[in-house]
Amino acid sequence: MDVGLIIERTPFEHRIGLTPGGVQALTEKGHRVYVESGAGREAGFSNLAYTESGATIVYSDEEVRLRSELMIRLSPPTPAECEAYTPGQIVITAWHLAVASADYFKGLLDGRITSVGYEIIEDDDGHAPVLEAMSEIAGRLAVTIGAGLVLNEFGGKGLLIGGAPGIPPASIVILGAGTLGCEAAKFARGIGAHVVVLDNDINALRRVQSVTADEIPTMIATRPRIEKALAFADILLCSAAVHGERTPTLITRDMLELMKPRSVIMDLSIDQGGCCETSRPTDFSAPTYEVDGITHFCVPNLPSTASRASTRALTNAMLPYVLEIADKGFDRAVRDNPAIRRGTYTYDGHCVRRGLARTFDVPYHEIEKDGG
């Protein structure tokens, strides 16, 4: 199979779809990989590293697209890029189609693009390997960035997140005990912050307490308990999410008045719409804004800021699926592997994800294991 990697042109996206090692795993099995010149530069991977791994360097994204059956990218293609894809072309990326426009989604169906989303690939044990790998990195980065946001120079209250002898630490309230929230909790507690975690899933809360040796208080996320936690939060880190669907609104604007002035909301579920009524996507050119005296940080795709580490983690998680698609072809791989099937949004002009079909009011088509 012919596989393509391009320069990501979305601002602040610094990763590439595969490391040179991932490329070598493909080329050693006879697959051709085309890499746009400079595509790995931001992640610290040179053209030479890719050519030594067996890739062919080409000099435009158009050439990569025209040569490739399978495109591996990080950002969703623009509508114009979608129109340029050929029917049946496979595009693996972080589509986040639950928050896409109806016109954009219709374009995928009309163009007969096969869309596979990192964020919805799920194995038989209920784990989302790619999403979890990125969430582990995002959770650690969130605490690192949050430590800066509470400093005076960044509009904060002048707190030291881990405290010091005789000085209390900052209080971090984490809403959502999935992989991202759990990693953030571990990392924040490890540097001395006071941490509280809320979630509606008691087993998720048990997992947080297990990995932190019961050092972190946990609560079921009822509205009264959320409101109680907001009153002492210096940082509210929102990581609540519904797999493959839009995030529900859990923090309304009127709840902001419960928070102390100059406290910080970090809405890391913004990729899926955000769980705060007052959240809107930002980027690192202007990462924060203020609503009712509360600083909001709503930058999606945090792992890209650690592009080399994230590209390696992405390759580790995604390479087995890429190899299976390349070896078998998509038609067979999607029927043989339930994880790939669950990770597919559109296929052969059909919506093959039930919840998305409801969202966009289009027919749902089930991919049969036997090829039906």
Look up residue 196 and give its two tokens: 């509280």
Clarify whether 361 is annotated catalytic.
no
Render 129-146 in DSSP notation, one character per residue.
Answer: HHHHHHHHHHHHHHHHHH
- Per DSSP bridges, beta strands 294-297 and 288-291 are antiparallel
In angstroms, the CA 205 to CA 194 distance is: 16
For 350, phi then psi, to 5°, come to: -115, 150
Number of neighbouring beta carbons within 10 Å of residue 12:
18
Clarify whether 96 is annotated catalytic.
yes
For the beta sheet containing 70-72, the strands, ordered from the edge strand earlier in sequence to the opposite edge, are 56-58, 32-36, 2-5, 70-72, 90-93, 114-117, 344-347, 350-351
In angstroms, the CA 6 to CA 129 distance is: 23
For 54, phi then psi, to 5°, come to: 100, 5
For 315, phi then psi, to 5°, come to: -65, -45
Catalytic residue, chosen from 96, 194, 234, 267, is: 96
Number of neighbouring beta carbons within 10 Å of residue 214:
10
Element (H, E) at 103: helix 102-110
- Taking a C-beta distance cutoff of 8 angstroms, is the pair 7, 38 a contact? yes
Task: Find tokens 């509470």 and name the residue.
Answer: 150
Single-letter code of the amino acid located at 191: I
> Which residues are catalytic, by number?
96, 271
